[in-house]
Structure 1
Amino acid sequence: MSRRGWLLFGAMCVVWGVPYLLIKVAVREIGPAELVFVRTALGAVLLLPIALARRELRASVRPWLPLLAYTIVEIGLPWLLLSDAERHVDSSFTGLVIAGTPLVAAVVARVTDRAERLTAGRVAGLLAGFAGVALLLGFHAGGGGPVALLELGGVVVCYATGPLIIERWLSDVPRYGVAAASLVVGAALFAPVAVPRLPSLARHVTPGPALAALGLAVICTALAFVLFFALIAEVGGVRATVITFVNPAVAVVLGFLVLGESVTWLTGAAFALILAGSVLSTRRRAPAPVAERAEPVATGQAADAGAGVEPPRAAEPSH
C-alpha cells in the first residue's frame, strides 16, 4: 500500500476502535436513546453537505424501504443496544464480542446464499472463533448480567445482517448518499423519544460525557465515514476491511489504559481465537491462474481479487 493508504488504515483502526470507550463514558449520564439521537443528528449535519455537493442524496432515497431497513439494522437498533449494554459491561469486553461479527456474517452468508461453501478451513475458523467467544463469555459470565450479553449478541447479528441489505438492494447507491440518508432517518426515528429530554439533559450533563457524545458524532461517525470511503478508494475494498480485525484490539488497549479495565491472559487468548477464526471463516480460495494479459489491472479492487481473503460481509459496521 501507499504511504497515504497506511495512514488512512491506521486512522481508521483508531477511529473505529475508540467508540466503545466513548460510549462507556457517555452513558454514565446520557441515556441510550438520547445518545443515539445526538450521534445520528450531528453526524447527519456533517455528512449531508458532502452528499449534497456530490449529488448523491437523491439517488439514495429512491429505494426508501431497503434504506429504512438498513438504518434500523445497521444503525438504530445496534447503536441503541450497544449503548445500553455498555452501562453494565466493560468497553474492552464489548469490543471483543463485536469482533465476532465476521463469524456470524459467514454463517448468515451461507444460509442466505447457496453459492457460499463451508469449506474445511471455514468450518475450522468458525469453530475457533466461536470457541474464543465462548471463552470470553464464560470468563465474564458473572459481570453485566444476561440482558447485556443478549444485547451484545443482538448487535453482532445486526452488524452481520446490515451489509447484506447493502449488497442485495443498495449496491448501486452512492456511499455518501447512503451514509447521510441513513443518519437522517436514524435521527428522525429517535427524535420523538430523545428531543423532549434534551433540555433537562443539557442542564445536568457534565463535560466528560458531553465531549464523549460529541466525539462519537464528529469523529467516530462523520469523520469515520469520510476516512473509510477514502481508504476504500486508495487501497480497495478487500484491504480496507482488515480494520475489522484490528479495532477490537484498540478497544481493549484503550479500555485498559484509560478506564483501568481488567485485561488478562484469557482476554488475549479469546481475542486470538476470535481473530484467527474470523480470518479463516472469511477466506476464499485464490482464483485459478489465468493467461497473462498485455494490459495491467486498472483498479485496486480488481488487483485485490487474488489476495485470497474475502472481505467480511459485516466489515462496515458503523460502531
Structure 2
Amino acid sequence: MSTQERHTTSGQISLPIEAGLLLLLSLIWGSSFTLIKLAVATIPPFTMVAARVTIAAILLILIATAQGHSLPRQTSVWAAFVVQGLLQSALPFTLISWGETHITSGLAGVLNATPPMFVLAIAVMTGRGRQAICGRKIAGVVLGLAGVALTMGIDALSGIGTASPLAQTAVLGASFSYALAPIWGQRFSGLPTVVTAAGAMSCAAVLMLPTAAALEQPWRLEQPPAQAIAAVIALGVVCTALAMVIYFRLIHTLGTLATTSGSYLRAGFAVALGTAILGEHLTWASLAGMALILAGVVAVTVPALAPTAGTPAGAPRN
C-alpha cells in the first residue's frame, strides 16, 4: 500500500504536505490559462480539449497499469466516471478554452477563482457538507460575487449579446462545474487516485473526440506551430494527468471546500503568468474586481485548512 493510501485509509494526514500539494496544484492549474491562450490561437477549442484529455487518459492508464492497478469493470462505476469526466474536464475545459478566444488568460483565471463560493452556495441550498455556515463566509460570497460583477464590467449588462460577456459567463459556468466535480468525486474514495483519474479522463476523451470531429473537423486544419503543440502536450501531461492525481488525493484528504480553495491562488498565478509571458493588461476595474474576488474567496476558504474545535489536526474534512 502506498504512503498516500495509508494516509487516506487511516484518516491521518500531514496538513503541511497536503497544503503544499494544494499550492502545487494551484500553480499547475494557474499556468493552464496561459498555455490555453497559446494553444487556442491556432487550435480550435474543442480540438484542443480533445487532444488534452486524450493525452492525459493514455498517460494515466499507462501509469495505473505500471503500478499494478486495473480499471473497474462495474457499469455503475463507469457511469459515475462519465459524470466526473464531464464535470471536471470535458465541460469546464471547453468553456474556458472557448472563453479565452475572446478574453485574456488573466481575466479567465480571475473569473475561474469562484468555485469555493459555488461550493458554499450549494452547501447552503442542499445542506450537504459539514462546514459551519457563518456570517464571515456569507460575507465572503457576497464580496466575491461583487468582484465578479466589477471584473465583468457594467458594459456586460448592456452588451450581453456580445462575445466578451458571453465568454466571461462561459468561464463562470466552468467554475460552477468545478464546484460540482469534487462533491461528485467523493464517491470514489475506495479507489486508488490514479485509477479514478484514469477512468474519469478516459470518459472525458470519449466525450470530446467525437464532439471535436463533428464540430471542427481537425483533420482539415492547417499544421499548428510547434509552440501550440507544445502547449497542448504540457496541458495534457502536467495540467491534466499530474494535476488530476493530486486533485483526487486532496478531495479525500482536505475535502471539497479546502480543495477548491486553491482557486484564489490559481487566479493569482494566472494573472501573473499572463502578464509576464503574454504581456496582458487588466483595467483598474478588473484589478479592483480581482481584489474583491480574492478577498471573498479567502474569507470563505482559509479556515478549511485549519483544525476546528473537536477535530484532530490530521483528520480529513469536507
* TM bucket, shorter chain: 0.7 to 0.9
Deviation at 1:117, TM superposition (A): 5.3
Q: Does 1:190 align with 2:211?
A: no
Match of residue 254, structure 2, among 237, 244, 248? 237
1:275-314 to structure 2, matched below 5 A, reads: 275-282=294-301, 283=303, 287-289=308-310, 301-302=314-315
Q: Report what 1:51 is aligned to.
A: 64
Superposition deviation, residue 106 in structure 1: 0.7
What is the CA–CA distance in structure 2 between the aligned matches of 1:102 and 1:96, rounded to whole Å? 13
The residue that corresponds to 1:200 in the other structure is 220
Question: Residues 21 and 251 of structure 1 are in contact (CA less than 8 Å); yes or no, is this contact kept in structure 2?
Answer: yes
Q: Tell me which residue corresponds to 2:107.
A: 93
Q: Cα offset for 1:244?
A: 2.6
Q: 1:60 to 1:154 in 2, by over 3 A?
A: farther
Separation in 1 of the partners of 2:310 and 2:21? 31
Q: Label 1:173 to 1:60 Cα distance change in 2 as closer, same or farther (>3 A).
A: farther
Q: What TM-score, normalized by structure 1, do the two folds share?
A: 0.79
Alpha-carbon separation, structure 1, partners of 2:148 and 2:175: 12
1:150-169 to structure 2, matched below 5 A, reads: 150-167=169-186, 169=187
Q: CA deviation at 1:24?
A: 1.0
Name the aligned partner's letter for residue 212 of structure 2. A
| Cα distance in 2, alignment partners of residues 122 and 86 from structure 1 | 30
Please give the TM-score of this superposition, normalised by the length of structure 2: 0.79
Number of residue pairs aligned between Structure 1 and Structure 2 = 293
Q: Structure 1 residues 171, 65: CA separation in 2 closer, same or farther (over 3 Å shift)?
A: same
Confirm or deny: 8 A CA contact 2:153 2:285 kept in the other structure.
Answer: no
Describe the shift of the 1:288–1:118 C-alpha distance in structure 2 as closer, same or farther (beyond 3 A): closer
Distance 1:231 1:123, change over 3 A: closer
**1 CA distance for matches of 2:117 and 2:24?**
24
Whether the 8 Å CA contact 1:60–1:178 is kept in 2: the answer is no
Separation of aligned partners in 2, 1:230 and 1:32: 28
How do 1:82-161 and structure 2 match up within 5 A? Answer: 82-113=96-127, 118-138=133-153, 141=156, 144-161=163-180
Q: What residue in structure 2 maps to residue 316 of structure 1? A: none
- Equivalent residue, structure 2, for 1:41: 54
Q: 2:290 aligns with which of 263, 271, 274?
A: 271
| Unaligned residue ranges in structure 1 (runs of 5+) | 291-296, 306-310, 312-319
Quick check: 1:71–1:185 contact (8 Å CA) kept in 2? yes
Distance verdict in 2 for CA 1:153–1:247, change over 3 Å: closer
**Percent of residue pairs bearing the same amino acid type:** 31
Q: Distance in 1 between matches of 2:204 and 2:259?
A: 25
- Secondary structure, counterpart of 1:58 in structure 2: coil
Contact residue 103 and residue 278 of structure 1 kept, 8 A: yes
Kindly report the root-mean-square deviation, in angstroms, between the aligned alpha carbons of the 2 structures.
3.2
Decide whether aligned partners of structure 1 residues 11 and 33 sit closer, same or farther in structure 2, where only a CA change above 3 A counts.
same
Shift of 1:97: 0.3
Once residues 60 and 301 of structure 1 are traced to their aligned partners in structure 2, the CA distance between those partners, rounded to angstroms, is 33
For 2:51, give the aligned amino acid.
Answer: V
Q: Which amino acid aligns with 1:49?
A: L
Deviation string 1:285-308 (CA, Å, 9 cap, x unpaired) is: 964358xxxxxx7xx742x76xxx
Conserved? CA contact 1:59–1:173, under 8 Å: no
Offset at residue 5 of structure 1 (A): 6.7
Cα distance in 2, alignment partners of residues 207 and 105 from structure 1: 38
Supply the AA of the counterpart residue of 1:253.
Answer: A
- State how far apart, in whole Å, the 2-side matches of 1:104 and 1:6 are: 21
Taking the aligned partners of 1:225 and 1:157, their CA distance within structure 2 comes to 18
Query: Would the aligned equivalents of 2:106 and 2:272 in 1 still touch at CA under 8 Å?
Result: yes
Q: What amino acid maps onto 1:17 in structure 2?
A: G
Residue 317 of structure 1: aligned partner: none
Pairs within 5 Å for 1:4-43: 8=21, 10-43=23-56
